[in-house]
A = this chain, B = another copy of it.
Amino acid sequence: MANCLVAQSGGPTAAINATLAGVVRANQLNPLYEHVYGGLNGIEGILQDRLYDLTNLSAAENRLLRQTPGSALGSCRYKLKRGNDADYLRLVEVMDKHDIEILFYIGGNDSMDTVDALSEWARENKINKRFVGIPKTIDNDLMVTDHCPGFGSGAKFAIQVARATSIDLNVYTREEVYILETMGRDAGWLAGSTVLSGVVDVLVLPEVDFDRDVFLDQVKKCMDEKGKCYIVTSEGAHYADGTYLSAGETKNDGFGHAVLGGAGAALKQMILDAGISPRAKVQDLCSSARSANFAQSLTDVTEAFELGMSAHARSGNPAFTGQVVAVQRELVDGAYNAKFIAGPAEDFANHVKHVPTEWILPDYQGVTQEFYDYIEPLIQGEPDLVMENGLPKTIVPFNMR
């Protein structure tokens, strides 16, 4: 009986390890493979023959794995380039050495492209190896799949921070602006999700070219009305020429301050310079939304786990390669249900799923009801976390052992 390999790539999410746990558990329920190896630090580590045997991971450790943030196998930013036969051959060499017939690659856009390229190359060169993709990304920007595992938990965290800090902002009567910055270089899903907090006055997404005057007008209107303004921005907010707001000393906005830090810091400076508010606070969520295991969405973690199981089970069909498993949304008696599907990796790769422009209200006023309806089911429920000394118990990542 041959073995399988599973690896993680790109930025982690708070649910990416649930997918790994799903692959491992599925093979215990139905041992299609003699061993389940984890590739450490993605393709980069696999090329260095760094594997970890996960076959007999206990149920208890599997449960802790699901609530461990980060990529428990470690990750990489290394992209296997099409046509790089040396890397491809080395990969096959490592797989052969351990009698591995299939690689499950958990990742985002680039990783799905890698799955596509590898499976195509194997087919063309009659190499009997298979490659399957499983999506993850906090950015939620993959095509085909209704949404990406990890996004729901990140959104749930960001929404809770927005709700809590907005209530905090309102305790004083003084005029003040609060700016929350989230990840999201190209797509505004995560920043946009914070509207579910019910507190967002002004929303800046990368889907709309930034216009300083319109933005400041909107903030001013809000301040005039209630003396407070809660702003959320994507890190990827940018001007029409593509310059990020966070790009430091900008050339287009007519004032010459050095702006260190991100989009939030840039917006703060604009507001203070324009004299719209005497005070502004900025909170950049940095990597916490993608790692907040203490604020996981049960729906998200469950789907992430089941996608891992689905990929493993489908691989029982020897023709299953170059495919990516995904979630299709359906309504059952009017209620949200996740249906599991699979499709060609090429359909997932190299495109960014943006927030539809028709869901975005003009003048930074937020999003339409469709957006709310889309996000709401994804943040439902809380897993029953195993706690230790007041903190969610985590495992030592396999790449750190």
A380 to chain B, nearest CB (A): 5
Interface positions of A from 291 to 316, Cβ below 8 Å from B: 291-295, 297
Partner of A164, one of B69, B163, B382, B389: B69
CA distance A192 to B282 in the complex (A): 22
Task: Please encode chain A, from 261 to 286, with 1 for each CB lying within 8 Å of some chain B CB and 0 for all others.
Answer: 10001000100000000000111111
Partner of A381, one of B68, B269, B390: B390
Known: A71-B171, A265-B260. A291 touches B391 (CB 8 A): no
Interface positions of A from 104 to 153, Cβ below 8 Å from B: none
CA distance A372 to B258 in the complex (A): 41
Question: Are the C-beta atoms of B282 and A284 separated by less than 8 Å?
Answer: yes
Question: Are the C-beta atoms of A288 and B294 separated by less than 8 Å?
Answer: no
A177 to chain B, nearest CB (A): 13
Known: A173-B41, A292-B161. A297 touches B390 (CB 8 A): yes
- A328 on the B face (CB < 8 A): no
CA distance A62 to B41 in the complex (A): 49
Question: Are the C-beta atoms of B287 and A284 separated by less than 8 Å?
Answer: no
- A184 on the B face (CB < 8 A): no
Interface size on A, residues (CB 8 A): 67
CA distance A135 to B77 in the complex (A): 49
A67 to chain B, nearest CB (A): 10
Partner of A394, one of B163, B295, B380: B163
Q: What are the residues of chain B within 8 A of A392 when measuring CB–CB?
A: 160, 163
Task: Please encode chain A, from 155 to 195, with 1 for each CB lying within 8 Å of some chain B CB and 0 for all others.
Answer: 01001110111011111111000100000000000000000
A152 to chain B, nearest CB (A): 9
Greatest chain B CB density within 10 A among A68, A74, A172, A297 is at A172
CA distance A165 to B12 in the complex (A): 10
Partner of A168, one of B77, B156, B290, B381: B290
Partner of A165, one of B71, B288, B390, B394: B288
A292 to chain B, nearest CB (A): 6
Known: A74-B173, A173-B74, A295-B294. A165 touches B287 (CB 8 A): yes
Q: What are the residues of chain B within 8 A of A70 when measuring CB–CB?
A: 164, 167-168, 170-171
Question: Are the C-beta atoms of B294 and A283 separated by less than 8 Å?
Answer: no
Q: What are the residues of chain B within 8 A of A259 when measuring CB–CB?
A: 260
Copy number in the complex reads 2
A263 to chain B, nearest CB (A): 13
CA distance A8 to B167 in the complex (A): 14
Question: Are the C-beta atoms of A288 and B164 separated by less than 8 Å?
Answer: yes
Known: A259-B260, A281-B286, A284-B284. A167 touches B390 (CB 8 A): no
Q: What are the residues of chain B within 8 A of A265 when measuring CB–CB?
A: 260-261
Question: Are the C-beta atoms of B173 and A294 separated by less than 8 Å?
Answer: no
Partner of A260, one of B260, B291, B387: B260
- A1 on the B face (CB < 8 A): no
Q: What are the residues of chain B within 8 A of A294 when measuring CB–CB?
A: 160, 164, 294-295
19 residue pairs of the A-B complex, CB under 8 angstroms, read: A12-B168, A14-B164, A41-B172, A74-B170, A75-B171, A164-B288, A165-B287, A168-B287, A170-B399, A171-B397, A171-B399, A196-B389, A259-B260, A261-B265, A281-B286, A283-B285, A294-B294, A379-B389, A380-B389
Per CB-CB distance, the 7 closest pairs between chain A and chain B, nearest first, are: A70-B167, A283-B286, A379-B390, A164-B291, A168-B291, A75-B171, A71-B171
With A76-B172, A160-B391 given, name 17 new contacts (CB 8 A).
A69-B164, A69-B168, A70-B167, A74-B170, A161-B288, A165-B288, A168-B287, A171-B399, A196-B389, A196-B391, A281-B286, A283-B284, A283-B287, A294-B295, A295-B295, A380-B389, A382-B387
